[in-house]
Structure 1
Amino acid sequence: MSQIDISTIKTPPQCCADFCLIPMGIDSASVSPFIAQVQTLLKASGLQYSMHANGTTVEGPWDEVMKVIGQAHGMLHDQGTVRVHTDIRVGSRTDKHETARSKVASVEKILSGQ
């Protein structure tokens, strides 16, 4: 089997990631204070994002999206959270520019019968 030169493989230029960050080993069942801090971080990042009941959708350049999710981990670790777990679903496409909002609008258009 031939070796792969990973230095030549690029990441996609854009992505849309849905993530659910879970601080573990905390004193309360409520994670709202932690999520509020993550939302503040996302706002400061300048990336497009939208919080929903079970996570957050963030979109933008692949490296920036992954970096801000990593920064969320780092921020909580710096504040004493020993373990942080995150589930992430990431989508990318190269045939057209797509946003989280445009994906929802596409389904809503079908539902409205247009």
Structure 2
Amino acid sequence: MIRRLTEAHGPVMFHQSGGCCDGSSPMCYPDGEFRTGDSDILLGELAVGLDRDVPVWMSKTQFEYWQHTHLTIDVVKGRGAGFSLEAPEGVRFLIRSRLFTDEESATVNG
């Protein structure tokens, strides 16, 4: 899905705001369309076999809740958020999470 969206819209990015409803879903935008700032943190980049990796941002307040979890961006059938690029595709992105194991936590925090 990310490759398809990139072919249609150019480079993309994700932002996880942590709001209610669709705001708690990862939103996919053309890269740079969603302005990040001091209230956001770059979690990392998805290596999806494109010319460039896909940045994944999260609000710092949401990161405080999720900093001890392993996050996976998944895509499932269903209606996407109105502002996210996948909405017309009949799918939506969602976050799957689990707590870090003790070993993972030691690696991340150590």
More helix by share: 1
Does the alignment reach a TM-score above 0.5? no
Q: Identify which of structures 1 and 2 has the higher relative contact order when contacts are C-alpha pairs closer than 8 Å and 6+ apart.
A: 1
Greater strand proportion: 2
The TM-score normalised by the length of structure 2 is 0.32
Larger radius of gyration: 1
TM-score (ref. length: structure 1): 0.31
